[in-house]
Homo-oligomer: A and B are copies of this chain.
Amino acid sequence: MSTAISPLALPFPELPVIAGATPRVARARYKEWDRCDLSFVTLDAGTTVAGVLTQSKCPSPEVEWCRKTLVLGQARALVVNAGNSNAFTGNRGRAAVEAIAARSAAHLNCQPSDVFVASTGVIGVPLPVDKAEAGLDAAFGAAPTNWRQIAEAIGTTDTYPKGAVTKALVDGRDITLVGVIKGSGMIAPDMATMLGFIFTDVAVEAPFLQAALSAASDRTFSCITVDGDTSTSDTVLAFATGKAGNTPLASDDSAGADAFRAALADLCHQLAQLVVRDGEGATKLIEISVEGAESDRSAHRIAMSIANSPLVKTAIAGEDANWGRVVMAVGKAGEPAERDKLSIRFGETQVAVQGLAVADYDEAPVAAHLQSQEIEIGVDLGLGEGRATVWTCDLTHGYISINADYRS
């Protein structure tokens, strides 16, 4: 945790115990600090797993490890290292991940492939295996802790710990999902990768868990941006212990499948919003809704073009209803758009309709809206039925200070 708490921060909620998942933390001291920086969550036998990983072409060895082991669909442990991302470290980095998996497997008497590993922090320095192993041993011998401690132990440049909870009724059983997440840029300099972990007691087969997580991710984690930069290490993993005792979910036809999917989507939405709210230097949360596009995919690209535009983000920071910058960002997306069909609103107020500024529109509600912490920009392309919603934050002096005003 670093610097002042984001003005958009939300309080950490009460997160219940998830049967079959036991969180522990330890001090591996990956950096010169006195805080827990290694998280070790053991999972009872029978736990299924799904994941969504960075699309970076230069991923960390942790990401490569998870991509390989996810195919097997089962998990007995999660290890998260904070302070060193182990990315761009060649064979030594790969060896570190293998050593962590082997040590954990020895403790738990499971296969190394049952162990999932994620790391966040400085790039280019191989993760020190001795510190990792000592940390793992310490964690294994420590008393179980709670999810808040995990949320804090996985954080790096985050300004507040982030967690969320949802519940659902599945096959007559109350099931619970908890999640913790870290990240304050899509990546950051020394450290700020997005890592999210979800734990639930539902019984669900791995392929269906994967389908549900991928679908939820497409509408949540894939719809947020702080600076358009993508980490080498972004990882979201969902673990299901099956302790709720429902008939295992296997497809959309399973009893309670819809309820589970909705609860998982809600949890992912909450977690994704928490990351944007901790965007580096953020003072405003911006929701951008695009409709009337030729397809949902086209709408998503246009929305992300707006969300990643430095000129749009600085306009919002300046509380300036500068819709000309929105037009620019629509135009540069490269997607079908016709100026004379384009309409734009800030909050509830239309500022341009069908390619023309609204004559004498009432600026007062727009000005009032822009002064609030949560800003809405709406774009209607007037072409088709495609729609998408994405979230970002404003671009402020705070971002520059965090990222430029220091030497690594």
Spell out A's residues near B (CB within 8 Å).
Answer: 54-59, 87-90, 122-125, 185, 187-190, 227-232, 308-311, 314-315, 317-325, 327-340, 342, 352, 354-357, 394-397, 399-401, 403-408
Contact = CB atoms under 8 A, between A and B. Distances in A.
A322 B55 CA distance: 21
Contacts of A334: 55, 57
B314 A404 contact: yes
A338 to B, nearest CB: 8
A322 B187 CA distance: 13
A397 B314 CA distance: 11
B190 A324 contact: yes
A397 to B, nearest CB: 5
Most buried by B among A122, A124, A400: A400
A231 B334 CA distance: 13
A4 B336 CA distance: 39
Most buried by B among A232, A333, A337: A232
Contact of A58 (B125, B337, B399): B337
Nearest to A187: B328
A328 B400 contact: no
Nearest to A230: B332
B229 A309 contact: yes
A329 to B, nearest CB: 7
Nearest to A61: B339
A346 B319 CA distance: 38
Contact of A399 (B310, B355, B405): B310
Nearest to A407: B320
